[in-house]
Homo-oligomer: A and B are copies of this chain.
Amino acid sequence: MSMATDSTPHANRRITLADIAAGCDVSRATVSLVLRDSPLVNKLTRARVEQELRRQGYVYNRAAANLRRRTSSSIALVLNDLANPFFAEFAAGVDEALGGAGYVTLLGSTGESVAREQAVLGSLLEHDPAGIILSPAEGSVAARVLATVGMRTPLLLFNRELAGEAPPDAPWDRLMLDNQRGARLATEHLISLGQQRIAFFGGHQSSSSCQQRHAGYVEAMQAAGLPIEPHWRIECAPNRVDAAAQCGALFFDTPAPTAAVCYNDAVALGLMLGLYQRGVRPGRDFAVTGFDDIAEAALSAPPLTTLAATPRARGRQAAELLLLRLRDPQAKPQRTVAPVQLVVRASSCPPPAA
C-alpha cells in the first residue's frame, strides 16, 4: 500500500505542533519542549525537530499558548490623541520598551472622546492584555473606567488625572509630568530676565495639568514678590487657532503684561502668531514661553523657550512602570512625577526698556 505523503502541506492551513511532531516522529510534547529551549530534550532529537520546524515554516501560536498558560503577552496602549506629535513620540517609546520585554502593543486611540474611550477599552480588554497604559480623554471619569476595566488588569495612567475619586482599592499607577515645577521654572526664568508683568495664557481651568501649571506660575510670582493682576489669566482651548484669537485679551486692561507663560507649545505658537498680527514682535517686544518642547518649538520664529517633556523617554518609562507592576501586582500604587527641563531659546527676552 503506497501512499503519497504530501510533505509540502496545503499552503493555507496553519502548521501546528502536531504537523511537526508527525513530520519527525516525536510527540507534540517534545516539539513543545524544543520550542521552549528545554534542557530536557536530547541534542539529536532537538536538531531533528528544529530542522523540521524550518522545513515546514512553523509559526508559533502565542494565543494558544497564552490560553493554556493563562498568561498574556500584550499590553494595551490607549491614547487620547495619537495625531499629536507628543503622543506619537510617547507611543514610539512605549512600543520600543514593550517590544524589548517581549510584549506586543495593542493600540487604541480615542480622539479625545470619552465614549470612544469606553468602546476602545472594552474591545481591547477582550484581547486580554496583561496591562493598560491610558492617557485619558478630557472628562474621563474614574468610576466609568473602573467599571469597564475592572480590577484584574493593571492600569497605568499617563499625563492626566481622571475626574472623580480614584477608587481606593484599584491599584492604578500614575506617571505625570512635573507641571507645577515646569511652569515655575519658566516663570522664574522670565523674572530673572527682568520681567515683572507676566501673564498666564491658555488652557482650561478644569484641566488638572492646567491647574498645576498655573499653580507653578503663581508660586514663582509670589516668591519674587510680584503682583498678579486678575486680567493676566486668559483661558483658551489648547490649540493654536484659539490662542491666536485670544491674543488681544492680554491688552484690554492696564497694566498690560510684557510676557506670558503659556499653557503649552501649541498655545505659545498661536500666541506668537497673534502678537505678530498686532505688530508686537515676540522675543523683542514681548516674551513668550511654552510647555512640551514639540519639534516645532525649536524651529518657530523666534525659536520658543519651553519645557522639554521628552515624550519618548516618558513612553519608555511608562512601559517600565507597568512591567514593574506586572511583576508585583500587590505593591502599592505608585505616583511618579517626571521632571521637565527648561530649554531657553529666543522667544524669552527682557522687557522693552521703558
A177, B312: Cα distance in complex, Å: 28
Q: How many copies does the complex hold?
A: 2
Tell whether, in the assembled complex, residue A106 and residue B107 are in contact, meaning their CB atoms are under 8 Å apart: yes
User: Which of B14, B66, B104, B240 sits near A123, CB closer than 8 Å?
Assistant: B104
Tell whether, in the assembled complex, residue B67 and residue A95 are in contact, meaning their CB atoms are under 8 Å apart: no
Q: Which residues of B contact A299 (CB under 8 A)?
A: 240, 269, 273, 296, 300
A59 at interface by CB-CB < 8 Å: yes
Tell whether, in the assembled complex, residue A99 and residue B123 are in contact, meaning their CB atoms are under 8 Å apart: yes
Q: Which interface class (under 10, 10 to 19, 20 to 34, 35 or more) fits A?
A: 35 or more
Interface residues of A (CB under 8 A from B): 11-12, 14, 57, 59-64, 66-67, 70, 73-74, 77, 82-85, 87-89, 91-92, 95-96, 99, 102, 104-109, 111, 119-120, 123-128, 150-152, 240, 269, 273, 276, 295-296, 299-301, 312
Of the A-B pairs whose beta carbons lie under 8 Å apart in the complex, a sample of 5, sorted by A's number, is: A14-B70, A82-B88, A99-B123, A102-B123, A300-B300
Q: A92-B109, A99-B123 are in contact. List 18 more A-B contacts (CB 8 A).
A: A57-B150, A59-B150, A61-B126, A82-B89, A83-B89, A88-B88, A88-B91, A92-B111, A95-B107, A95-B108, A95-B109, A96-B109, A96-B111, A104-B107, A105-B106, A240-B295, A296-B296, A299-B300
